[in-house]
């Protein structure tokens, strides 16, 4: 991900400190239960790292009505800080649960949370199965992170008196859960006999509800509502349209980088989504445009956890040769243009528009 402007990049350590402080406060509230120390130790790793983009977007949303010096002050206000921590707690919760669902072993260069709990079980020689304990413990720990995120949004809303932010946060949590279900459902549908156009449509629905809204649109909207914006205001409508479109472009780019990017840059193994059977738009377009031999290759490789690097490379070549990659690039550009087109000075101030224009490029830039 490209570099942020200095005033936004400086928010990252600010939000890092907020996340640590709030987790420490929750840990202190449970200090009379020593057995939970291990949970907070593992959760501190789950909350570490990351680019804090959702926190930054939440702060930008909160500052939507401010300009110039007041805008930058709003970005670092206590309410924006609390919202940022809430969004990062929620993000960590979603990733913990996602890793359990996908059986992922690592996250951000560290062992996944469920793997850490499995190791805890094994190292202590407890009864039962390491993996069963790890999965159960991670689900419960993720639930705690989710609850704490809601708690922080509520605290911030009590200060501002704008409880629409709480409702929007809760709606986001439910929407992402249902979007995750759609994702899991798609992975379990048979590939042979599938309709390529329908596969693309189903994949776009997952992008909208699982990732596009919660990655970009919801943080902006929740921030603006926390600051007192009306849900029907031109500002919120503009932020929603921008967020949904740039969020979709961001997820499409992320899916593309999962095949054509560098694991050193993305932090994910190249071809991981293909081995997991993810029905991305890129896979759907390839199925739609490939001939019989290409579809046979996809049938052999997509969802094959033992697929070799050579097979993954063959799928990548197919995506380019059949025109799916080019069409996918056009989709990214179309979503990006629609997102930028809604940034009207009639609805938003110059300061937030300038930041959102830069962020659109940061979130969707190619990284080889």
Q: What would the two tokens of residue 255 be? A: 């899916």
pLDDT in tens, 85-139: 999 999 999 999 999 998 989 898 899 999 999 999 999 999 999 999 999 999 9
pLDDT digits (tens, 9 = 90+) for 27-84: 999 999 999 999 999 999 999 988 999 999 999 999 999 998 899 999 999 999 999 9
State the alpha helices, DSSP H only, in 10-67: 11-29, 37-47, 53-62
| Domain co-membership, 129 together with 171 | no
Rounded to a whole number, what is the distance in angstroms from the first to the last CA of the chain? 11
Q: Are 127 and 93 in contact (CB under 8 A)?
A: no
pLDDT at 261: 86
pLDDT at res. 123: 98
Rounded to whole angstroms, the Cα distance separating 251 from 246 reads 9
Are both 62 and 188 inside the same structural domain?
Answer: no
In angstroms, the CA 164 to CA 157 distance is 8
**Residue 166 shares a structural domain with residue 33:** no
Select from 74, 91, 78 the least CA-distant residue to 21: 78
Q: Which of 161, 177, 194 is the last residue of a domain?
A: 161
Q: Do 46 and 148 belong to one domain?
A: yes
Please indicate, yes or no, whether residues 96 and 121 belong to a single structural domain of this protein. yes
CA distances from residue 141 to 96, 102, 241 in whole angstroms, order as listed = 8, 17, 33
Question: CA quadruple 48, 117, 209, 270: dihedral positive or negative?
Answer: positive
192 in the same domain as 313: yes
Mean pLDDT of 201-214: 92
Share of the chain above pLDDT 70, in %: 97
Both tokens of residue 99?
A: 């890793």
- Is residue 267 very low, low, confident or very high in pLDDT (cuts 50, 70, 90)? low
Residue 104's CATH number? 1.10.600.10
Single out the residue of 96, 82, 119 nearest to residue 43, CA to CA.
Answer: 96
pLDDT digits 0-9 by tens, 137-167: 999 999 999 999 999 999 999 999 999 999 9
Rounded mean pLDDT of the chain? 94
Q: How confident is the model at residue 368 (pLDDT cuts 50, 70, 90)?
A: low
Q: For the residues 270-289, what does the mean pLDDT come to?
A: 93
Q: What is the dihedral of CA 39, 45, 51, 57, to 10 degrees?
A: 10
Based on the fold, state whether residues 133 and 179 are members of the same structural domain.
Answer: no
Based on the domain organization, do 204 and 150 belong to the same domain?
A: no
Question: Is residue 157 domain-shared with residue 173, that is, in the same domain?
Answer: no
- Phi first, then psi: what are they for 227, rounded to 5°? -80, -5
Give yes or no: residues 317 and 186 share one domain: yes
Task: Count the alpha carbons within 13 Å of 212 in the hemisphere toward its beta carbon.
Answer: 24
Domain that holds residue 225: 162-368
Question: Is the domain of 182 the same as that of 321?
Answer: yes
Same domain, 119 and 220: no
105, 140, 161 - which closes a domain: 161
Question: Cα 352 from chain centroid?
Answer: 22
Confidence of residue 1 (pLDDT cuts 50, 70, 90): very low
Distance CA 289, CA 29 (A): 56
Structurally, how many domains does the chain consist of? 2
**Which of 136, 161, 186 is a domain's end point?**
161
- The overall pTM is greater than 0.85: yes
């Amino acid at each position: 991900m490209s570099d942020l402007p200095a005033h936004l990049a400086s928010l990252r350590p600010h939000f890092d400190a907020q996340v640590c402080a709030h987790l420490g406060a929750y840990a202190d509230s449970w200090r009379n239960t020593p057995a939970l120390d291990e949970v907070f130790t593992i959760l501190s790793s789950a909350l570490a790292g990351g680019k804090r983009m959702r926190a930054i977007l939440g702060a930008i949303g909160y500052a939507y009505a401010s300009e110039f010096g007041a805008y930058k002050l709003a970005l670092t206000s206590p309410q924006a800080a609390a919202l940022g921590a809430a969004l990062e707690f929620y993000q960590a919760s979603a990733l913990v649960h996602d890793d359990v669902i996908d059986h992922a072993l690592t996250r951000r260069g560290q062992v996944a949370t469920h793997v850490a709990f499995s190791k805890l079980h094994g190292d202590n020689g407890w009864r039962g199965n390491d993996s069963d304990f790890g999965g159960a413990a991670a689900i419960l720990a993720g639930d705690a992170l989710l609850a704490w995120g809601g708690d922080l949004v509520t605290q911030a809303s009590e200060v501002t008196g704008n409880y629409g932010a709480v409702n929007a946060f809760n709606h986001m949590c439910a929407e992402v859960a249902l979007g995750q279900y759609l994702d899991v459902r798609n992975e379990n549908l048979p590939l042979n006999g599938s309709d390529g156009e329908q596969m693309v449509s189903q994949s776009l629905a997952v992008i909208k509800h699982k990732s596009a809204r919660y990655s970009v649109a919801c943080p902006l909207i929740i921030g603006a509502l926390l600051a007192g914006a009306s849900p029907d205001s031109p500002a919120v409508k503009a932020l929603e349209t921008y967020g949904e479109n740039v969020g979709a472009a961001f997820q499409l780019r992320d899916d593309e980088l999962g095949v054509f990017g560098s694991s050193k840059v993305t932090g994910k193994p190249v071809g991981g989504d293909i081995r997991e059977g993810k029905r991305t738009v890129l896979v759907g377009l390839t199925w739609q445009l490939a001939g019989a031999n290409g579809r046979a290759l996809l049938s052999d490789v997509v969802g094959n956890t033992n697929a070799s690097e050579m097979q993954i490379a063959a799928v990548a070549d197919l995506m380019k040769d059949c025109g799916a990659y080019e069409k996918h690039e056009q989709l990214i550009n179309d979503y990006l243009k629609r997102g930028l087109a809604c940034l009207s000075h009639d609805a938003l101030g110059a300061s937030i528009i300038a930041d959102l224009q830069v962020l659109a490029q940061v979130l969707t830039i190619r990284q080889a």
